[in-house]
Amino acid sequence: MLKLTKTLAVSALLASAVCSSSAFAEPGAANEGNGEAPRAAPMDDLDIGRAKPIAPPKLKEDETSRAAPTDEDAAVKSFGIVGRSSAGKDVVVEPSETMRKIILEELNAPAPGDKKAEGTSGPAIGIDPALGEGEEANRQVFGDDDRVQIKNTKVYPFTAIGYLEGKTKGGAFGSCSATLIGPRTVLTAAHCLYNHDDGGWLDEFIFVPSLNGSTADDAPYGAFDYDTAYIVQGYIDNYQGFYGSVVPWDLGVITLKEPVGDNLGWLGYANYDNLGDFDANIVGYPGDKPMGTMWRATCNVVAEQIDEINFQYDCDTYPGSSGSSVYAYDNAVKQRIVVGVNVAESPSANTAVRLNKTYVEWINSLWK
């Protein structure tokens, strides 16, 4: 299996992965939590079944090539932060100087193909031992459906994965998948938080970790309210009437009102330079399965399908899987590291936004 070379920051981030309290945690580091169940959150807003699974937007073959701005000022502005709080307050944060420097470095970096040809090596990426569990189930679906249901959702890393629900301006509810990457920080797709064709921001987001069915009794830790939802400025500014114009910016973060991750744990996240072949794991809530049940898909991602802002794969997904983290198991540190977010489908493959150096810095600035 091809190996990966990390940025210098990754090793430092993962070194803190054994921390058991958010007081000692760092952005990007994985954490298995303290093993205690959090205080049950109120279930008043939980009504599994009212939401329609949000479909991954469809990409046409030529769309992404028309997406990213090449002008430096426009590229920097695209990575600003746009947010909406649960109290209805708008948040706008322009990229910092550190962020600007990273964006310009990435914009002027050698082509991905040139960097991959260098043949650099790094820690081995292995199979997640937690995914040996489960039963064959009956994906967009490629070939035979090979997804497997996670029956015991109350063990790490599945405690860090949850069902995300939001309400549109039109009053409809939609559901996605999301992942804890910090005590209060949840990673998902921007299109799970903001809909260009339906009035913009969704609202009333709730995160239900470890959900395992369609009733309140199937939510072992309750449902947690959001504090603020954030997306990338470019997801709004660069929209040209078709999804491919904004797929490079289809990334979102929600901060919760409570640090549920201290109990349930969270996954790590990192940029790997020269990302090569690896086994991808996608765990979430596909809408073609029994309501509220958690499923995993695994597949190999090859270097030829990876560029600086996206990568593609034939892992099986379905509406409701939007926002699922795509993570690799790093054998060197025995940690699960998010390298992308499942966002779209096309006739030939499904697509993730890659957590490159720019996005890692963007997420770090919001991490709580």
In the 3-class helix/strand/coil scheme, how is 212-238 assigned residue by residue?
CCCCHHHCCCCCEEEEEEEEEHHHHHC
The residues that bridge with 280 in the sheet, in sequence order, are 299
- In percent, the amount of the chain with pLDDT more than 90 equals 54
pTM of the model: 0.87
First to last CA, the chain: 34
pLDDT of residue 24: 58
Q: What pLDDT shows up at residue 58?
A: 76
- Which of 154, 157, 153 is CA-nearest to residue 37? 154
The whole-number pLDDT of residue 3 equals: 40
Q: Are 59 and 344 in contact (CB under 8 A)?
A: yes
Question: What pLDDT is attached to residue 195?
Answer: 93
Q: Return the sign of the alpha-carbon dihedral for residues 285, 288, 293, 297.
A: negative
Q: What is the pLDDT along the chain (368 residues), one digit of tens a residue?
A: 334 444 434 444 444 443 434 545 789 999 999 989 887 677 776 788 899 988 878 776 555 545 555 688 888 999 999 999 999 999 999 999 999 999 998 887 765 444 433 333 334 567 788 765 433 333 344 445 678 999 999 999 999 999 999 999 889 999 999 999 999 999 999 999 999 988 899 999 999 999 999 888 899 999 999 999 999 999 999 998 888 889 999 999 999 999 999 999 999 999 998 888 899 999 999 988 999 999 999 888 999 999 889 998 888 778 889 999 999 999 988 999 999 999 987 767 888 999 999 999 999 999 99
DSSP state of 266: B
Listing DSSP states for 10-38 in one string gives HHHHHHTTT--SGGG--TT--B---SPPP
Res 5: pLDDT: 43
- Contact in structure between 239 and 195 (CB atoms under 8 Å): no
pLDDT of residue 119: 33
Query: How many angstroms separate the Cα of 358 from the Cα of each of 101, 210, 235, 308, 361?
Result: 9, 30, 15, 10, 5
Q: Per residue in 51-95, pLDDT tens? A: 998 887 877 655 554 555 568 888 899 999 999 999 999 999 999
Reading the block at residue 25, the tokens are: 């945690």
| pLDDT given at position 67 | 54
Give the start-to-end residue ranges of the domains of the chain: 5-364
CATH 3.40.30.10 assigned to domain 5-364? The reply is no
Sequence-separated (6 or more) residues with CB below 8 Å from residue 55: 319, 322
Model pLDDT, residue 320: 85
pLDDT for the residue numbered 133: 45
Give me the numbers of helices (H) and strands (E) for the chain, helices first please: 7, 23
